[in-house]
Amino acid sequence: MTQDIQTAKRLILDYTEARDGALSDNETLQVCKKYMIEDHSYRGMNPFYDLKGPEALASVVWSPIKAAMPTLQRRSDIFFAGRHNLLETAGCWVVEMGNLIGDFTDDWLKIPATGKATYLPYATLYRVENDSIVETVEFLDIFAVITQAGLNPFLQNQSGGQMMSPGPKTHDGLIAGATEGFITAKTHTLTIDMLTELALSYTSPLDHMERFWHIDMNWFGPTGIGASLGFPGYRRGHTGPFEEYLETTEIHDWELAVSEGHFSAVMWWPCLTMRNKAGFMGVKPNNQLAEMRVIDFYRRHDNKLAENWIFIDILHFLKQQGVDLLKEIGEKS
């Protein structure tokens, strides 16, 4: 049976509301078990990586977060659903992006609590079959929490601005109802055409930017890279340092592309294999091959892309180069 998209949306909304409201570890576990199949697959960032089953997800990811930030709020900025590449026979995915915020009052992942309001950017992709969650891919920007705790040794080398990324400028990212197909198809085609050209070299010359992007575009990168605004800012804050300091050794195909309305989301696992040839992010140049795992969210305005939110497993990228920040923080605490 083909999963109904609107039913899948309602399922995810019910799940996240129940998980947010769980008041104990056992309640969190029961929520996960209610909405997920027994062999649910979770792919997450360093240090979570691959987890099997709702019990592992509850105990490794969600119970510790809720204990460290008991006032946790989920502030969703983008929410929509669709099928991979708009294929009717493909799986149904519900995607969400925003920030978790809470008072950081207990240590988490050996990051010492600050006692201050803290934000944790997230991007989550849920695959739904037969009205159950069968797979989750999730990026939690743990590096943002490390930075807010004053423990980011590379902050002075960040080329873009450090900020809690805002939602869409148009304030229309939460798509609860159905969307006309031709609007979705236009967004999907533009996104795929842009990425297909980008994948030829993973450079962004001006002619590429002018074809696919509004000149006043917003680019909200992960902690470690930061945010950039407009063509000059994007070149200065992202593509310039990216091309100067990194050598791309392999470009990988995307694994998932989902669109609805004016929004799209694309996931690579990984996107790029790279070598840090000249000190990217302030890390010493080295000969190690390192993967970038990526989720991108896009917003289309008229015939071009206007905004881009990027989630990269920076902690994984650093660890492959011999920099294990979480381990180093734990040893100092």
> pLDDT per residue over 263-317, tens digit each?
999 999 999 999 999 999 999 999 999 999 999 999 999 999 999 999 999 999 9
Residues 6+ apart with CB under 8 A from 14: 35
pLDDT, position 2: 79
Query: Quick one: how far is CA 318 from the chain centroid?
Result: 17
Give the Cα separation of 121 and 189 in Å (integer).
Answer: 27
> pLDDT per residue over 158-204, tens digit each?
999 999 999 999 999 999 999 999 999 999 999 999 999 999 888 88
Res. 333 pLDDT band, cuts 50 70 90? confident
What pTM did the predictor assign? 0.96
Q: CATH 3.10.450.50 in the chain, residues?
A: 5-155, 181-332
Q: What is the largest CA-CA distance in the chain?
A: 55
Tokens of 325: 């920040």
Mean pLDDT in residue range 57-81: 97
Domain 181-332 belongs to what architecture?
A: Roll (3.10)
Q: Please count the CA atoms within 13 angstroms of the CA of 80 that sit on its side-chain side.
A: 25
∠ CA 321-120-9, nearest 5°, is: 110
Asked whether the beta carbons of 283 and 195 are under 8 A apart, the reply is no
Please, what CATH class does the domain formed by 5-155 belong to?
A: alpha beta
Burial class (CB in 10 A: 0-12, 13-18, 19+), 311: buried
**Whether the predicted pLDDT of 259 surpasses 80:** yes
